[in-house]
Structure 1
């Protein structure tokens, strides 16, 4: 099976003393897999996600995403790679409040050179699928938390990324909105989207993930098939 993520002997240090913040670890994620990364605060979850996203570079080891050795790319190369191959969803949405919903969603496509017509058509398709088409002309500040997270997911998917990364996607939501986003991520995985989800919410991990990796002190303490555990 094709591997979307391959981490080979990866470690990250932020200072020269003490243990590394992450690793060393070797980890792979297959195409179509939904991986939940769990663990206590300070366990290395965010560091792992940042390395896979190319937002940080490892101290040691190789980070390969969608067949590219991204830790060797230039900053410009990383930015271009992220726009084309990676979609990111954040806890606090990271939407631009002065842009409409449809303009927020289209932005990554426009940055990759997609024509306005094609970007608009793809955005409309996603808004309809995610149940937010009626908000196309609204501004993010007028939406509920769950609706804003759906906009963020649409924006992350507009370039049809090989990999969707979600960092505590329900952390800022109420219970009902959190369930909606959980169901959305589950549906995306069932449709074949490769997902890496960082979360403290074990119910979210159990519902959405086909596999769970539990980190403790920067190391993999558990790696198990979540579906087999159900």
Structure 2
């Protein structure tokens, strides 16, 4: 699903944000990209999403050379292949919940009726259909993140990218989102979870890739389904860090 080969990204004359990274993610995997602030996590995510271009090396996602796409091609690629979940939801406050979920499908050219039917199905699946006509600011953080997940799934993406999806949530809401990601992955959804939270990575992903100073420091496969991974990595929990 994802294949990076000797991928480097430099923004200025300083050290590279990403330094010669080679890694792959298979279809159906849930992989956590772990690292402290400045480790290169966001840069890696942006390259996979086609939001940025590498300085050298290649980025291939679902058979598409993302690093070779122009601006229009990158936009089409994201609409068709990638769903994105953000730490602060990025919902449109002047649209209802169902209208927020419909946005990606309408941008992709889906008819309004068909888009509404799919949005309602997703909201029902995620247990928030009763809020379809509400506005995002009336919902809890956990509910807003479920809306964001529904929006990300709207175009049936091959790849789901989650950038600190529980970072702005209380512990109860964070657990709900964690379980939702596990459920989606169990159904075959490929997920790349970017976080600096060791416990979230350990309990959600089957595999964790740790970045340090833009390079892959460790790539751990956890055949136990996530349990116990935290005990095998020297990173400390981010519970005390500002999010």
Aligned ranges 1:44-193 → 2 under 5 Å: 44-193=40-189
SS at match of 2:223: helix
Q: Which residue of the partner structure matches residue 27 of structure 1?
A: 23
Q: Which residue of the partner structure matches residue 11 of structure 2?
A: 14
Separation of aligned partners in 2, 1:201 and 1:72: 32
1:29-70 deviation per Cα after TM superposition (whole angstroms, max 9, x unaligned): 100000000011110001100100011110000111110001
Structure 1 stretches (4+) deviating beyond 2 angstroms? 226-230
Separation of aligned partners in 1, 2:177 and 2:222: 19
Separation of aligned partners in 2, 1:202 and 1:227: 17
* Residue of structure 2 aligned with 1:212, choices 201, 205, 208: 208
Separation of aligned partners in 1, 2:133 and 2:108: 23
Q: Which runs of 5+ in 2 are unaligned?
A: 228-243
SS at match of 1:58: coil
* 1:10 and 1:26 in contact (8 A); partners too: yes
Q: Which runs of 5+ in 1 are unaligned?
A: none
SS at match of 2:52: coil
Count of residues in Structure 1 that have an aligned counterpart in Structure 2: 226
Separation of aligned partners in 1, 2:178 and 2:198: 11
Shift of 1:16: 2.2
Aligned ranges 1:195-206 → 2 under 5 Å: 195-206=191-202
Let me know the Cα RMSD of the aligned residues.
0.9
1:159-201 deviation per Cα after TM superposition (whole angstroms, max 9, x unaligned): 0000000000000000110000001001001110000000122
SS at match of 2:59: strand
TM-score (norm 1): 0.96
Separation of aligned partners in 2, 1:23 and 1:120: 43
